[in-house]
Copies of this chain bind each other. A is one copy, B any other.
């Protein structure tokens, strides 16, 4: 499952924008075109333990040359904007709910959590850039599964880090405890 998600999957012809250059359409709609896709050993959506994953981002050779990546290797980290394209429309919840269904945590709205079942299904993640070769970027700990369409790649600059004191609720720290490095009980499964 690599290129398959970049093939047509919609059935409504109105969704098939011919050239799909970025455009603001009707009723606040925006048409975007994937700039590439993720190739990852992780093929199923699993919530935790992303640290061990090394993935590759393949830029679309019909749109880009190596020129578009010139100078990127001077950065240690990149920010990847991608689509949770395996999320079905009916799995998109906007109403408040317990994150991961855990009743020990409060009910929060979709914009107060980072769950993948969200409007527009956009994922944004900062990962380590290991290597740039041609139109391929090798990255570690990118939390996107195999085949995910990539919408943008930005270099990470420290100046874009949040400024001032950071405050976040306890539930979010508990949820994130195993996100990168898996806690032992899950590793034993």
Please give, as numbers and ranges, the residues of chain B lying within 8 Å of A8 by CB-CB distance. Answer: 25-27
Interface string of A135-156 (1 = CB under 8 A from B): 0000001000000010111111
Given the known A-B contacts A22-B119, A81-B124, A83-B24, are A107 and B157 also in contact in the complex, defined by CB atoms under 8 Å?
no
Answer yes or no: A172 CB below 8 A from chain B CBs.
Answer: yes
For chain A, the count of residues having a C-beta within 8 Å of the partner chain is 99
Which residues of A142-189 are within 8 A (CB) of B? 149, 151-169, 172-173, 176, 179-180
Q: Which B residue's beta carbon lies closest to that of A141?
A: B163
Q: Are A32 and B33 in contact (CB under 8 A)?
A: no
Interface string of A50-65 (1 = CB under 8 A from B): 0000000001100111
Q: Are B109 and A71 in contact (CB under 8 A)?
A: yes
A contacts, CB < 8 Å to B: 5-6, 8-10, 12-35, 59-60, 63-72, 74-79, 81, 83, 85, 89, 92, 94-96, 106-114, 118-122, 124-126, 128, 141, 149, 151-169, 172-173, 176, 179-180
